[in-house]
Structure 1
């Protein structure tokens, strides 16, 4: 299982990230999201909208989950019940350096234009640009 997240870019630069929460209110996780290697801090490519929201899921692969728990058992730390709890706990860390040490990844599932750079942008173009920018995408 994964942790639903929303990432906002302005002019191709990551400016904020939040959990999807109840669909209306979420938690600010910007500092921690910036440490996830699968999430580009800057988008590259053509036709990137001036404001773009990328929605998707932060998750912890099973091997990463097992390694975190193995390390926790060895050092007397907190052992997580499942990968979803480990991903959530990682995103809620007060210290982004802890999050950075965990092998979290992200899969983009949707994008929302807030202000398009051009009215000729197609969703497929954006998805291809997200992939070129480094996103793993369930769309393209």
Structure 2
């Protein structure tokens, strides 16, 4: 059962929590214990697990099997976010780029995370990049 009263975190626990949040916001899913250990420079999976268990006891995360959930983070990942369009970029032969100010695109919330005010998109016009998997 998760403790609803949050307690103070140690410096290491705060770093582990931040690493979990950053990974989820960057990838859209939770890290494995090994990925988390690698990101933090902690070679021992049992040491990472110990920190996760402490975070869970203090109410900062919940764990179900290999899945890690951070309290308050789902709201950042859910739904669509409207991202402003910064411009149109030609892909192919030489062409003029166009201003598309005022236009926007809806993207999944996990792609934006906490950077909501610092994100924009660019529309590519042309087919030269079609097989580049961009």
Provide TM-score, normalisation by structure 1: 0.25
Find the structure with the greater CA-based Rg: 2
- Greater strand content: 1
- Greater helix content: 2
Higher relative contact order structure (alpha carbons within 8 Å, sequence separation ≥ 6): 1
